[in-house]
Amino acid sequence: MSHPIVEMASFKLKPGADQSALIAASNTFQENFLKNAEGFLRRELLRLNDTEYLDLIHWRSEADAAAMMEQASRSPECASYFSVMDMDGANPGGGVRHYVSLATYA
């Protein structure tokens, strides 16, 4: 049985980037890349403080998440979104991680 996947990307804003640029790039990324992606369930963009953020993307399966990671490397919308991020700056280890969703509670 395949479990849903929660993709977690923690990051800081790059120097010179601000929250309005992040949100604009995030909206374009959502509408032109993720919205109709195979296996996409939902997404949340979260702020910890003025510079640290977390993007959570919920996928139907690991295969769906992996397929979109591959496509992201060729997407101009992704490149624009990633251009405001410092993926290594928020967490030791930084970057993107996939977690298996074992249970969901309302």
Q: What CATH number did the domain enclosing 48 receive?
A: 3.30.70.100
Per-residue pLDDT, averaged over 91-95, amounts to: 60
In a domain, 71, yes or no: yes
In a domain, 61, yes or no: yes
pLDDT per position as a tens digit, 22-72: 999 999 999 999 999 999 999 999 999 888 899 999 999 999 999 998 998
In a domain, 95, yes or no: yes
Provide the residue range defining the domain that includes 14: 5-100
Residue 106 has pLDDT above 90, yes or no: no
What domain count does the chain have? 1
In a domain, 15, yes or no: yes
- pLDDT range class, residue 94, cuts 50, 70, 90: low
**9 three-state secondary structure:** strand
Q: pLDDT value at position 96? A: 85
In a domain, 79, yes or no: yes
In a domain, 106, yes or no: no
* 34-42 contacts, C-beta under 8 A, 24 or more apart: 34/68, 37/64, 37/68, 37/71, 38/64, 38/67, 38/68, 39/63, 39/64, 39/65, 39/67, 39/68, 40/64, 40/68, 41/4
pTM higher than 0.85 = yes
